[in-house]
Amino acid sequence: MKGTNFSNPTGFILLGFSDQPQLEMILLLVVSVVYVLTLVGNTAIILVSYLNPKLHKPMYFFLSNLSFLDLCFTTSIVPQMLWNLKGSEKTISYSGCVIQLYVALGLGSTECILLTVMAYDRFNAICRPLHYGVIMHWKLLQCLAAVAWISGFVESTVQTILVFQLPLCSHHRVDDFMCEEPALIKIACVNTTFLENELSIAIVLYVVIPLGLILVSYSCIARSVLRIKSAKGRRKAFGTCGSHLLVVVLFFGTIISVYIQPKSKYTQNHSKFLTLFYTVVTPSLNPLIYTLRNKEVKWALRQLLGRDPHQGEM
C-alpha cells in the first residue's frame, strides 16, 4: 500500500487539545500551577518523612515512595505537554515517545502495586496492632517497595517493546497529549487484536487484582474498626486509612475509566480529560490529602518550616 509507511517515524504529532486553542491557553496556565504545587507538595512530604525521626514508620516510608513516584510521573509528562500547549508544533521525537511511554507506564504500574502494599500496611496496623512492629520490619518494607518498582517496570518493558514493534501508519498523528498505549495502538496499520488482548491481561494483573486486594484489605479493616467500642478509637482508626482510601479511589477510578471504556470519538475526548486528571491533578492532590488528614505530617511540616508545632492547638 502506497499510503502506508511501515518504517520507524522520526517523530509523532501529539494532537492533544489542538482542536480547542482557547482551552489550550487555559490548560497551559492551570497545568503550570498544578505542576509547581506537585513539585512543592511531594518534595515536602519526602523531606519531612526523611528528616523527622517521628515519621520513620512504615506508613511514611511508603508515602515518601509514593511522593517520589508522583514527582517522576508528572515530570515524565508535563514538561513536554507544556511545550506543546504553548506552541503551534505538537511534536515529540520517536525516542522521546518511547522513553515517555516506558517511564509513564512503568511509574503508573508501580503506583498500582505500591497502593496495594500501602493497603497491606494499613491492614496490619489496624487488624494486627500487637504484631505490627514484628510483621512490618525494615527488610520487609524494602522488599515490598522493591517488588512494586521492579514489577512496574518489568510490565512497562514488555508493553513498550510490543507497542513499538507495530508497523505504524504514515501520518504518525497520536490523538492524545502524551504517548499513551491505547492512543499508539490506534495508529498501527496492522491487526492489533493480540496487543489489545495482552493489554487486557496487563490491566487485570496491575489494576483489577491490586484493586481487589485493596478492597479485601479494607473490608477486614472495616470489620476490625467496627469492633472498637469507643467512638474516638474508631475515628482514629478510620483517620489513618481515610487518606489512602481517597487516593486509591481517585487513582484507580480514573485509570479504569481510561482503559476500560467503549471506543468512540466522544469517549476519546472524555479520556483525554481523565488522563489529564490522573497524570497531572492526582499527584498534586496526594500531598494535600495526606497533610490535611494527618496530624503527624502537619506537625512535622510546621517543625520543618521553623514554626512552633503547638501553635494553633491552643
Inter-residue contact 110 to 69 (CB < 8 Å): yes
Q: Domains in the chain, ordered, with CATH?
A: 11-304 (1.20.1070.10)
The 3-state secondary structure of 119-150, one letter per residue: HHHHHHHHHCCCCHHHHCCHHHHHHHHHHHHH
1: pLDDT strictly greater than 50:
no
Q: Is the pTM of this model over 0.85?
A: yes
Q: Residues 229-287: pLDDT tens digits?
A: 777 777 777 777 888 888 999 999 888 887 776 555 556 667 788 888 888 999 998 88
What distance in Å separates the CA atoms of residue 74 and residue 42, rounded to the nearest whole number? 11
Q: Residues 107-143: pLDDT tens digits?
A: 999 999 999 999 999 999 888 988 998 999 999 999 9
